[in-house]
Chains A and B, each alone.
Chain A
Amino acid sequence: MTIKNWLRAGIPAFTAAAMFAAPALAQGPTIDKADTTWMMVATVLVLVMTVPGLALFYGGLVRSKNMLSTLMQVLYTVAIAILIWVIYGYSLTFTGGSDFIGGFSKAFLSGIAPDAAGATFSVGVAIPELVFVMFQATFAGITASLLLGSIVERTKFSAIALFIPLWLTFVYFPMAHMVWYFAGPDAIDAAAKALAAADAGGKAAAQEALDGVLADAGYIFKLGAIDFAGGTVVHINSGIAGLVGALIVGKRLGYGKELTTPHSLTMTYIGAMLLWFGWFGFNAGSNLEAVGSAVVAFVNTFVATAAAGLSWMFIEWIAKGKPSLLGAVSGIVAGLVAVTPAAGFAGPMGSLVLGLVAGVVCFFFCTTIKNAFGYDDSLDVFGIHGIGGIVGALGTGILVNPGLGGTGIFDYTTGAVAEYSFGTQMYAQFMAVVVAILWSGIGSAILFKVVDIIVGLRARPEAEREGLDITDHGERAYS
Chain B
Amino acid sequence: MKVVMAIIKPFKLEEVRDALTGIGVHGLTVTEVKGYGRQKGHTEIYRGAEYAVNFLPKLKVEVAVASDLVKKVIAAITGAAKTGQIGDGKIFVYPIEHAVRIRTGETDADAL
Contact = CB atoms under 8 A, between A and B. Distances in A.
A320 B45 CA distance: 8
Contacts of A261: 44, 46, 49, 51
B48 interface: yes
A259 B47 contact: no
Contacts of A327: 47
Nearest to A255: B49
A53 B53 CA distance: 30
A367 B46 contact: no
Contacts of B46: 61, 261-262, 324, 326
Nearest to A364: B48
A203 interface: no
Contacts of B53: 259
Contacts of B48: 366-368, 370-371, 380
Contacts of A324: 45-46
B34 to A, nearest CB: 12
Interface string A348-374: 000000000000000000111011000
Which among B48, B49, B51, B53 has the greatest number of chain A C-beta atoms within 10 A?
Answer: B48
Contacts of A366: 47-48
A290 B107 CA distance: 80
A330 interface: yes
Contacts of B51: 259, 261
B53 to A, nearest CB: 8
Contacts of B45: 320, 322, 324
A421 interface: no
A30 interface: no
A37 interface: no
Interface in B26-59: 44-49, 51, 53
Interface in A374-404: 380, 383
A260 interface: yes
A61 B49 CA distance: 12
A149 to B, nearest CB: 12
Interface string A254-274: 000001111000000000000
Which among B44, B49, B51, B53 has the greatest number of chain A C-beta atoms within 10 A?
Answer: B49
Interface string A315-338: 000001010101100100000000
B8 to A, nearest CB: 25
A261 B49 CA distance: 9
A326 B47 CA distance: 7
Contacts of B44: 261
Contacts of A326: 46-47
Contacts of B47: 326-327, 330, 366-367, 380, 383
Contacts of B49: 260-261
Nearest to A369: B48
Nearest to B53: A259
A394 B44 CA distance: 34
A412 to B, nearest CB: 44
A264 to B, nearest CB: 12
A259 B54 CA distance: 11
B41 to A, nearest CB: 12
A383 B49 CA distance: 13
A367 B46 CA distance: 9
Nearest to B45: A320
Nearest to A365: B48
A370 B49 CA distance: 10
A257 to B, nearest CB: 10
Interface of B: 44-49, 51, 53
Closest 4 CB pairs of A and B: A367-B48, A366-B47, A370-B48, A371-B48
22 contacts: A259-B53, A261-B44, A261-B46, A261-B49, A261-B51, A262-B46, A320-B45, A322-B45, A324-B45, A324-B46, A326-B46, A326-B47, A327-B47, A330-B47, A366-B47, A367-B47, A367-B48, A368-B48, A370-B48, A380-B47, A380-B48, A383-B47
